[in-house]
Structure 1
Amino acid sequence: MPIALLALTVGAFGIGTTEFVLMGLLQQVAGDLHVSIAAAGLLISGYAMGVAVGAPLLTLATRRLPRKTVLLALMAIFTLGNLACAMAPNYGWLMAARVVTALAHGTFFGVGAVVATGLVAPERRASAIAIMFTGLTAATIFGVPAGAWLGLHQGWRATFWVVSLIGVLAFAVLAMFVPHKKSAETLPALREELAVLRSPQVLLGLAMTVVGYAGVFVVFTYVQPLLNRLTGLSDGAVSAVLLLFGGGMAVGNLLGGRLADRGVMRAAIWTLAALALVLASLKFAIGHVVPAVVFFGVLGVASFATVAPLQMRVLDKASDAGQNLASSLNIAAFNLGNAVGAWVGGVTIEHGPGLAALGWVAAALTLLGLGIALWSRALDGRPSAGQHAHPATT
């Protein structure tokens, strides 16, 4: 395995920790800043929207820079944003700091995914992406539970101070090991990059990511109140469940990469179907300790098994000139799905049937994403302008 790929994974670990850690501290942040649980949940949506907006804009703004330079600049933004989170005096400041931090997220994973695929043989591209995303799963296994534990004992601000230190470490590792290659010599024209937005299959790929993945965050954003209020687990036990969820993500991430190497579209369809089934089972699991704990472990597997197939689908359907933009757009699509899911979950809790119904709502969203995936597969045999067919990956 190229050491540069591991360096990308370290960067992904830092970003993944700051993205997910608030989910284990939602009630503490809400109490400290005197806002509701749903309002605290919007900090997840705000971060995700920052990713969704920042990914395409920063990708285009930095297109003439070497990819290593871009990655280092983004990690610097990430570190400064977390410092601002740690010092936030009120809810508005924290929201703004979360959005600034999020600007680095989408472009880092988008550019990083392209760099990762260039480090390995063509038949190992999906697995390379999965390895980079292992940083996210490691963040959920180690970073998020540890951050939640630290926040419970030392205050949630302490967690962001530590995440800032992780950002400094990630910057150093990327600087040492990611190869420095100039990309300006073969830079495509801007109109060629933007042409990816006219590809129906790329747009459908982005849509299946947004809608299909939104179901995960309808549930996962509110993991703490779900386990506290409906299952009766303590805050300390929630950290242990987050650890189990992270272990499931690690398994699902590598499984999704292997499945996508054998057939991208087939893997996307089956993993979305499995995810919808798991989400629907929340209603039956959440009232009892053992089934609820098992549920979140299985949800970790099902949720991240979708990541590599959905990312590779968009990359496969983009032209060579549009790879960077398409990759970043799909990272934005994942996070737009996060934002939609967190918002839908909050509406369900405050204005709908409540916490117990989150699984049904989540499953409905993921099934809609599955429907988009089936539509996209049906169009595979029909050539369209600007689209490259890849029969071996469908």
Structure 2
Amino acid sequence: MSATRQGLPRALWALMVGNFVIGTGVMVVPGTLNDISQSLGVSIPQAGQLITAAAILMGVGAPVFASLVAGWDRRRLLTLSLVWYGVLMVACALAPNYTALLPLRVLAVISPAVFTPQAAASVGLLVGPAQRGRAITFIFLGWSIASVMGMPLSAWISGGLGWRWAFGLVALMSFLSGAWVWREMPDGIKPAALSREAWGRTVGSAALMSAVAVTLLSAFGQFTLFSYLAPYFAQTLGAGGAALSLMFLWFGVFGLAGNVVVTRSIDRIGAPNAVFITLGLMVVCLLLWPLGRHGFWAQALVVIPWALGCFSSNSAQQARLVQISPELASATVALNTSAMYGGQALGAALGGMMIAQGRMLQLHHVGVVVLLTAMAMSAWAAHLQKRSCAAA
């Protein structure tokens, strides 16, 4: 398998683009939430249940599917998951009403529950230990690129043509990405099966589970507000489709920049330090959040620290878990993915409840408290990791 100029296998590019498609599909609902609410005649909190229900499935499904697909060849598994995504996204786009859309959306996100953790778990069989941290953060660049291109494009298409066309675009990209993964992934990539003993070692490790808790808290703190950015910006700034697209694009550009910086520096500064710094950036943003109500560009400046830390934090978390215990990567990456989506579900659910009570302008208060808790947990996890290494 030929390498890129970066010395990384070409298959990693296919996996990175696959994560871009997966990320775009996950974020297509937050980007089109206003139009879904209006066109289907449901409230914003009810439309937000599309995020909550999908996140619950992804959160519960990631570790369950990790066990069910343990013996599958990853070339076939990852390709099939993208094809499934495409088919269900088409079904979502054709859904006649909200009652039909909700279960179809839940079925569609089986693919993120499979693709993202299994792509990360495959990295250890595609590159050597020296490149592992860089390779994992590289394939997670796809999520950052999704925020740069996918989410703003979804908002723009939704504003001009309707949310159904945005879902259709994700479907098309899924089929194309699946073909690329099939072409580039080698046969025979099968991470070690997850035995009961491996799960026991994972769940019994204080260092690993503390690190997973950081992901849960980070996603919880962010998605209380992130899930409802479109209606929030519409209420506070009067932002329509074009302005929303521009704001999401702005957010995504800095999100990509943050991930690139972490990818280049993580092996030098260490994954725990990278996580702590990125969480701190998001706390700074939410502390300054009310200043954004003064206007579009004030809000654009305020979101920069959040964007820099948002996707890079999760990339660093994935690398951190693999580095703590490479042999348990399939289990820890699945649990981390589960924690990420579980946090999204909690955040979206709490945010929807607060909006229903007329407290949309207070969503960032929850984010600050939960993210500060995540920083404290991250410091504790780093302490446990050092103590575990010293004991070994």
TM-score, length basis structure 1: 0.91
CA contact (8 A) 2:208 2:381 kept: no
**Residue of structure 1 in register with 2:360 after alignment:** 355
1:106-117 to 2 correspondences below 5 Å:
106-117=113-124
CA contact (8 A) 1:150 1:159 kept: yes
CA contact (8 A) 2:22 2:112 kept: yes
Cα distance, 1:86–1:380 mapped onto 2, change above 3 Å:
same
The one-letter code sitting in structure 1 at the alignment partner of 2:22 is I
User: Is it true that 1:243 corresponds to 2:249 in the alignment?
Assistant: yes
Cα distance, 1:196–1:111 mapped onto 2, change above 3 Å:
same
Contiguous gaps of at least 5 residues in structure 2: none
User: Is it true that 1:3 corresponds to 2:10 in the alignment?
Assistant: yes
**Residue of structure 2 in register with 1:295 after alignment:** 302
In structure 1, distance between residues paired with 2:95 and 2:84: 16
In structure 2, distance between residues paired with 1:319 and 1:244: 35
**Residue of structure 2 in register with 1:156 after alignment:** 163
User: Is it true that 1:346 corresponds to 2:352 in the alignment?
Assistant: yes
3-state SS of paired residue (1:64):
coil
Candidates 359, 376, 379, aligned match of 2:384: 379
Cα distance, 1:193–1:379 mapped onto 2, change above 3 Å:
closer
Contiguous gaps of at least 5 residues in structure 1: 384-388
CA contact (8 A) 2:217 2:373 kept: yes
Give the deviation of 1:239 after TM superposition.
Answer: 0.7
**Residue of structure 1 in register with 2:337 after alignment:** 331
CA contact (8 A) 1:241 1:296 kept: no
CA contact (8 A) 1:280 1:362 kept: no
User: Is it true that 1:257 corresponds to 2:263 in the alignment?
Assistant: yes
CA contact (8 A) 1:208 1:372 kept: yes
Post-superposition CA distance 1:24-59 (Å, at most 9, x none): 211110112221111111211122112111111111
In structure 2, distance between residues paired with 1:231 and 1:152: 16
Give the deviation of 1:187 after TM superposition.
Answer: 4.3
Cα distance, 1:259–1:349 mapped onto 2, change above 3 Å:
farther
3-state SS of paired residue (1:379):
helix
3-state SS of paired residue (1:120):
coil
In structure 1, distance between residues paired with 2:229 and 2:374: 22
**Residue of structure 2 in register with 1:220 after alignment:** 226
In structure 1, distance between residues paired with 2:299 and 2:70: 45
Candidates 1, 10, 34, aligned match of 1:27: 34
CA contact (8 A) 2:59 2:338 kept: yes
1:263-282 to 2 correspondences below 5 Å:
263-282=270-289
Post-superposition CA distance 1:309-337 (Å, at most 9, x none): 211222233361x2212111111211111
In structure 2, distance between residues paired with 1:337 and 1:371: 17
Candidates 146, 160, 180, aligned match of 2:187: 180
Q: Once structures 1 and 2 are overlaid, which stretch shifts more, 163-172 or 80-89? A: 80-89
**Residue of structure 2 in register with 1:386 after alignment:** none
**Residue of structure 2 in register with 1:286 after alignment:** 293
Give the deviation of 1:259 after TM superposition.
Answer: 3.8
Give the deviation of 1:367 after TM superposition.
Answer: 0.8
Cα distance, 1:381–1:16 mapped onto 2, change above 3 Å:
closer
In structure 2, distance between residues paired with 1:52 and 1:268: 21
In structure 2, distance between residues paired with 1:376 and 1:162: 40
In structure 2, distance between residues paired with 1:37 and 1:284: 24
**Residue of structure 2 in register with 1:368 after alignment:** 373
**Residue of structure 2 in register with 1:102 after alignment:** 109
Give the deviation of 1:193 after TM superposition.
Answer: 4.1
TM-score, length basis structure 2: 0.92
CA contact (8 A) 2:37 2:47 kept: yes
Give the deviation of 1:209 after TM superposition.
Answer: 0.4
Give the deviation of 1:4 after TM superposition.
Answer: 0.6
**Residue of structure 1 in register with 2:51 after alignment:** 44
User: Is it true that 1:85 corresponds to 2:128 in the alignment?
Assistant: no
Give the deviation of 1:249 after TM superposition.
Answer: 1.2
CA contact (8 A) 1:64 1:183 kept: yes
In structure 1, distance between residues paired with 2:100 and 2:197: 37
In structure 1, distance between residues paired with 2:257 and 2:203: 33
Give the deviation of 1:232 after TM superposition.
Answer: 2.6
Cα distance, 1:379–1:131 mapped onto 2, change above 3 Å:
closer
3-state SS of paired residue (1:25):
helix
Equivalent pairs counted in the alignment come to 383
Candidates 133, 142, 146, aligned match of 1:135: 142
Paired-residue identity, %: 28
Give the deviation of 1:380 after TM superposition.
Answer: 3.0
CA contact (8 A) 1:247 1:297 kept: no
CA contact (8 A) 1:283 1:360 kept: no
User: Is it true that 1:126 corresponds to 2:140 in the alignment?
Assistant: no
Post-superposition CA distance 1:223-258 (Å, at most 9, x none): 112211112322211111111111111111122233
Give the deviation of 1:217 after TM superposition.
Answer: 1.4
In structure 2, distance between residues paired with 1:9 and 1:358: 32
